[in-house]
Amino acid sequence: MKIIISHPTLNANSKNLVIGLLKSKLLFKLFTTIAIFPGQLLFKLGSNPKLKDLKRRSLDKTWQPYTQSKSFFEFGRLLASKLHLEYFVKHEKGFFCVDKVYQNHDKWVANSLTQAKKEGLSGVYAYEDGALATFTKAKQLGLYCIYDLPIGYWKSARSLMQKEFDVNPEWSSTLTGFNDSSDKLNIKDQELALADVIFVASSFTKKTLAEYSGNLPEIKVIPYGFPEVKQKKEYQSLANRKLKVLFIGGLSQRKGLSYLFDAVEGIQNQVELTIVGHKAVANCDVLNLSLEKHKWIPSLSHDQVLACMREHDVFVFPSLFEGFGLVITEAMSQGVPVITTDRTAGPDIIKSGEDGWIVEAGSSVAIKEVFTKILETPEIIEQFGLAARQKAQTRPWSVYGQEMADALSSLKIL
């Protein structure tokens, strides 16, 4: 069995899937937009601080024989974003918008399948918003269609998030996911309809697919891995200082931000809150006022994120709708206990009350109750933090890659 992996931009989960398939000799080809290898000119240019984004696209030399790349639209998107040419990256409409990147990539992969099948291809593995043309062509050729849904189903998102428009209307401008056109949403449904199997990274994502009106194939839940556990966290007494609480993520109400701000209201003399992330929109007054009350850092590099996590006592991720939440596993790998909701991967990877806490989504009271418990028994910070770190050591990214390879090799592909 040989599989094509199609992912325009490559993230941690797709890269570790590729590693797993390479080890198991299941990878036919990787199709992506920008692929940079050691020794190439672009790799050398990535050493320039102004071009550091290129370094993120560099891949292991052993991948080179398997990698196909076509980078025009993605380079255009990166350049237009860098130069703040908003017209070119406008949602769904801009010539270099992320939707156009995915659509053009999808068509390119689809056009490559006929030849690939002649060379022994068995199936295609593609991701949401970039699978329709590929799956349509794959079906014509009798190839197996493997779909990856990285975040919950859109109808479920609409129904769950609609409440926020009524309960927290002043935050509604940050819910930018409601800007998707009916055409884009229809494409998501068509992709699901063509899938022979669906992979998701959390039980919550699987649950959201109950709102899909058609017939679905088998849904496999395989959580992502944890980052490598390297540095130890130094735990410090809470005596004579505030509890240091951290949030990292996009600054929108989908992340449950209002509930976090409400949870610390009235206990600022005991809790110090740091927020790291970009604003979803610039002109949300209630968000801007909330950020003024606390420490706000707009952006950090990945290494800085991990260091920042180690400097805090507890990480809070109160998301209202999340396919996984990689920041949860990152914080746990740094020995920081996490408070998160039942609408993330939290229930799949955290044992609530032992190595973290799972709270009801949309409840500032539930978050504040955990803060109170920590303030009353501060020794649980180290106890839970060490347990979280130990959990991270048992499930590195290599375990995810191997589990994915095992699951794919067990599929009944003709």
Structure confidence at residue 325 (pLDDT): 97
Across 71-85, 308-322, 374-388, least confident range: 71-85
3-33+70-225+397-409: CATH number:
3.40.50.2000
Within 13 Å and on the Cβ side, how many CA atoms surround 34? Answer: 20
Q: How far apart are CA 280 and CA 100, in angstroms?
A: 21
Candidates 365, 323, 413; CA nearest to 128 is 323
Residue 288: both structure tokens together:
């801007």
First to last CA, the chain: 9
243-394: CATH number:
3.40.50.2000
Structure confidence at residue 204 (pLDDT): 98
| pLDDT above 80 for 41 | no
Helix ranges restricted to H, 50-97: 52-55, 72-82
Amino acid (one-letter) located at 402? Q
Q: What is the mean pLDDT of residues 311-338?
A: 98
Candidates 373, 315, 378; CA nearest to 344 is 315
C-beta of residue 409 within 8 angstroms of C-beta of residue 26: yes
Structure confidence at residue 412 (pLDDT): 78
Structure confidence at residue 57 (pLDDT): 86
Stated pTM of the model: 0.93
Structure confidence at residue 179 (pLDDT): 84
Q: What is the mean pLDDT of residues 18-26?
A: 97
Kindly write down the DSSP assignment for every residue of 147-171, as one continuous string: EE--S--HHHHHHHHHHHHHH-GGG
Q: What is the mean pLDDT of residues 225-254?
A: 95
Domain boundaries, the chain: 3-33+70-225+397-409, 243-394
Structure confidence at residue 82 (pLDDT): 87
- Summarize pLDDT for 375-394 with one digit per residue, the tens: 999 999 999 999 999 999 99
Q: State residue 132 phi and psi, 5-degree precision.
A: -65, -55
Q: How many CB atoms lie within 10 A of CB 173?
A: 17
- Summarize pLDDT for 148-193 with one digit per residue, the tens: 999 999 999 999 999 999 999 999 999 987 889 999 999 999 999 9
Q: How far apart are CA 275 and CA 298, in angstroms?
A: 8
| Exposed / middle / buried, residue 113 (Cβ in 10 Å: 0-12, 13-18, 19+) | buried
C-beta of residue 151 within 8 angstroms of C-beta of residue 33: no
- Summarize pLDDT for 266-299 with one digit per residue, the tens: 999 999 999 999 999 999 999 999 999 999 999 9
| pLDDT above 70 for 414 | no
For residue 104, name the pLDDT band (cuts at 50, 70, 90).
Answer: very high
Q: What is the mean pLDDT of residues 10-33?
A: 96
